[in-house]
Amino acid sequence: MAIVKNDSVIEQEWITVDAEGDLPSSDENLIVPLARFKEERDSLLGRNGGLGVQLNPGDAPEDLADDLDRLSIITVNFPAYTDGRGYSYGRVLRERMGFKGELRAIGDVLRDQILYMHRCGFDSYELNVDGETALTKVRAALKEMTVYYQPTGDGRVTAQSLRERRRAALDQKAS
């Protein structure tokens, strides 16, 4: 298993705890499921270590609206490649709610999905392969396309805006 972020393989710095597991020391970086975060919000926010939340299909990212500035990471679980709800979660968190922390795709993360995940706001990916293979897959996926039809929050130029720019340049040249 490897995590790729910012064009490099990074070490796992977070401990993921399930809904009922014991919490490690208060200095550890911790990721908890949304349901547990909602139940133990105050005690979790009072910890010394970093805090993150894992979103699973069926969770509502809007439940985190009041606490986004206190979260260092949000992991979004893609349990199967056919489940696309995580893409929507990414866009909601980045574009509507303004989440600035790390947004990591976990679960069934496949090379063919990485570019789309990136366009939806994800900036790290946990892949079930070794580090060098993961890095190669992410790099290749992010270079796969250069022109897009749909706008997203990633700031990439769309095909329509390129056409409009060319048209404006030609009009300016003709004047």
* Predicted pLDDT of residue 68: 97
Positions of the chain with pLDDT lower than 70, given as ranges:
none
* Predicted pLDDT of residue 175: 77
pLDDT in tens, 114-153: 999 999 999 999 999 888 899 999 988 888 887 778 877 7
Alpha-helical segments (H) within 60-101? 85-91
> Own/partner pairs for 63-71, CB < 8 Å, 24+ apart?
63/34, 63/38, 64/34, 64/37, 64/93, 64/97, 65/97, 67/37, 67/41, 68/93, 68/97, 68/98, 68/99, 68/100, 68/101, 70/45, 71/99, 71/101
Phi/psi region, residue 72 (left: phi>0; alpha: psi -120 to 50; beta: rest), is: alpha
* Predicted pLDDT of residue 117: 93
* Predicted pLDDT of residue 85: 95
* Predicted pLDDT of residue 107: 95
Bridge-based pairing of strands 124-127 and 2-5 is antiparallel
* Predicted pLDDT of residue 157: 80
